[in-house]
Chains A and B, each alone.
Chain A
Amino acid sequence: MVVAVTNLTYFLAWAYLDPRSNYVGRRPPLSEEQIVNLLEPRNLDDNVPLLERWWTWFSGIVFRWDWGVSPTGQSVNEQVAYRMWISAELMLGATLLLTLIGIGLGVYSASRQYRLGDRVAQGTSIITMNIPIVVAALGLVLLAIAFNNAVGSTIFYVTGASSPGVSGFFPTIVDTAQHIALPTAALVLVGYAQYHFLQRSLLLDNIKSDYVRMARAKGLTKQQAIRKHALRTSLIPVTTQVAFSIPGIFTGAVLTESIFAWKGMGQYFIETISKNDINGVVAVAAFGAVMTAIGAILADIAVVVLDPRVRVS
């Protein structure tokens, strides 16, 4: 499936993107020969039959693990290998935080269903969940700028993943934290609510079940019964959901990365499309497909580990 999707994307990308147009409008104008000379060694010349281009590209991957070069000659392999970790740096922290906050709030509001705390938490969550990420991120940028002005020094950086020229262990950590705080906050703000709702409804189903009533009848307090009996079973579907979100960790948040100018996979994706970088586009698609497959496998493993009723024969 992954191979099929990747190859299909290759043909689709050729149908919609045109690397030649990168060079046509140049000033001084390039002659046809010059353009061909630039494109041909990069396997991007549209005078070569499509099947031949495809074979050169495909055999390069299969035999040499070479995903090709961009119209300007940069290696796609290098770009992906470098950007993948920038995206992971941003998304890992955000995913961890939003999962914990979501589950915590879910447990809180399920154990006091329809009381004030639950209603307030649910009302907040439904609003934050539906704030578009663009608005949330830019709103945070405005807040941070106001905060920086009020304090008088730059606490939060609104662009980039790190400042140039920072060395040493602790300065690097502080610098990273200053850069990572805002994008993480934006991702958490719009993302935690889905786990809140999921955890709440799952836990409510379990609180009403017989074995939790049994635990209460044994003399456990409501808190103990929820923590030791209801929560454990209701965590299983949530874990599956989190495992499925792992592909997103590496493919990244396209909008967040472009707003905060993080040079991760999401930003690469935009760059490749707007620069007609066909090899790059296909690499992003293939990467996404592989990550989806890995996420599905991880979800299965998580269920086997957590759920004693599921046994691998």
Chain B
Amino acid sequence: MATDSSMVDPLAEGEPAPPVAAPGDRRRLSKWRLYSRRFARNRPAVAGVVIFVLLVAFALLGPLFARYDHVELDFLALSDPPSPEHWFGTNNAGNDLYAMVVVGLQRSLLIAVVVATGTTILSAVIGTAAAYFGGRVERVSLFVIHFLMVAPTFLLLAMMSNDSGGDWRVIALVLILVSWFFQARTIWTLSLSLREREFVHAARYMGVPGMRIVLRHLIPNIGSLLVINFTLGVVGAVMAETGLSFLGFGVKLPDVSLGSLIGIGSSSISSAPWMFYFPAAALTLLTVSMALVADGLRDALDPTSAAGGRA
């Protein structure tokens, strides 16, 4: 059989004998060093981090290099292809596409991060609290969760954000409202077993108040799941926001996001394809890089996973 231990699944092929360290030079790995080492071994995940950091840098530093503002109109260059003057070309009104992509990326990133943070916090608190307190709290939260699962959330989302007139804060809030409950349900299932553990009983008999147990003892124990949920939440939020904006229900002019840019670009896709290329490339890089990071994190944080290699 193969002996290259990095490529062998120890579960399937039997554990190769662990390298015996001399008793003197055995060091303890801290949790975070272990995680980062496992993560760094996953090359696609590292590539995802690099792409994501570059995109964030582009969104933050891009305006420094922009020659035009995203609402500024250049009437001498209508629907121009990319040129030294306008790096990404212009649209039919003379807006500089480079400036618009930078602003759109900022907007999409901001919405995504806000939504992912809000969703993670809300689902963690509600899921664990429902499991820990039980009784009426549990029944009410589960009823709400199940009701939202049947409710036509995308419809609500479209109606509410259409009504908001394109304010990104309202869109972010509505996105949080319609996306927390799936995660909350998963967390509730996990926390059911967690609440029977000794350290929770110990804390309870010591008289620690309930909400404090939830925040200090239960939530840290599902920390790795929350980290993964957060990264996947960013992907989901970006996709939902761009879908809404593409249809015209989300961010509205003069504010732009990647979705609304693609929506504008799609109407002139055969005559001015660059209006589609650049926002689409930014959007795809954003979602794919975050998904690679989430995948790497899952392998790195999961103690039973063999995909990251040993240790």
**Residues in B neighbouring A131, C-beta threshold 8 A:** 284, 287-288
A240-258 interface with B by 8 A CB criterion: 254-255, 258
- A281 and B295 contact, CB distance less than 8 A: no
- A127 and B150 contact, CB distance less than 8 A: no
Write the B276-311 contact mask toward A (1 if CB under 8 angstroms, else 0): 100010011001101110010000000000010000
B122 interfacial contact with A, CB 8 Å: no
Stretch at the interface among A5-13, A60-68, A164-172: A5-13
- B150 and A2 contact, CB distance less than 8 A: yes
Name the residue of chain B whose CB is nearest to the CB of A287.
B152
- A254 and B280 contact, CB distance less than 8 A: no
CB distance from B173 to the nearest CB of A (A): 15
A130 interfacial contact with B, CB 8 Å: yes
A142 to B74, CA, bound (A): 27
CB distance from A219 to the nearest CB of B (A): 20
A9 to B154, CA, bound (A): 12
Contacts A138-B262, A142-B273 hold; do A123 and B160 have CB atoms under 8 A apart? no
- A289 and B154 contact, CB distance less than 8 A: no
**Residues in A neighbouring B154, C-beta threshold 8 A:** 254
B9 interfacial contact with A, CB 8 Å: yes
Write the B161-174 contact mask toward A (1 if CB under 8 angstroms, else 0): 01100000000000
A264 to B266, CA, bound (A): 20
A268 to B44, CA, bound (A): 40
CB distance from A19 to the nearest CB of B (A): 13
Contacts A5-B151, A132-B284, A273-B162 hold; do A113 and B291 have CB atoms under 8 A apart? no
- A269 and B295 contact, CB distance less than 8 A: no
**Residues in A neighbouring B144, C-beta threshold 8 A:** none
CB distance from A129 to the nearest CB of B (A): 7
Q: How many A-B pairs with Cβ below 8 Å?
A: 114
A211 interfacial contact with B, CB 8 Å: no
Main secondary structure of the interface of B (DSSP, over half): helix
**Residues in B neighbouring A133, C-beta threshold 8 A:** 239, 243
CB distance from A118 to the nearest CB of B (A): 11
**Residues in B neighbouring A12, C-beta threshold 8 A:** 156, 159
Task: Give the residue of A17, A114, A208, A269 whose beta carbon is less than 8 angstroms from that of B7.
Answer: A114
Name the residue of chain B whose CB is nearest to the CB of A113.
B9
A36 to B169, CA, bound (A): 36
Contacts A129-B291, A142-B269 hold; do A16 and B280 have CB atoms under 8 A apart? no
- B152 and A130 contact, CB distance less than 8 A: no
**Residues in A neighbouring B269, C-beta threshold 8 A:** 138, 141-142, 145
**Residues in A neighbouring B238, C-beta threshold 8 A:** 132
- B162 and A16 contact, CB distance less than 8 A: yes
- In the complex, besides A12-B159, A134-B259, A273-B155, 18 extra interface pairs with C-beta distance below 8 angstroms are A1-B150, A5-B151, A13-B159, A126-B44, A126-B295, A127-B288, A130-B235, A132-B239, A132-B243, A135-B280, A138-B265, A138-B266, A138-B276, A139-B280, A270-B247, A273-B162, A289-B152, A292-B150
Contact sample, A vs B, 7 pairs, CB 8 Å cutoff: A16-B160, A114-B8, A130-B288, A130-B291, A134-B246, A139-B280, A273-B159
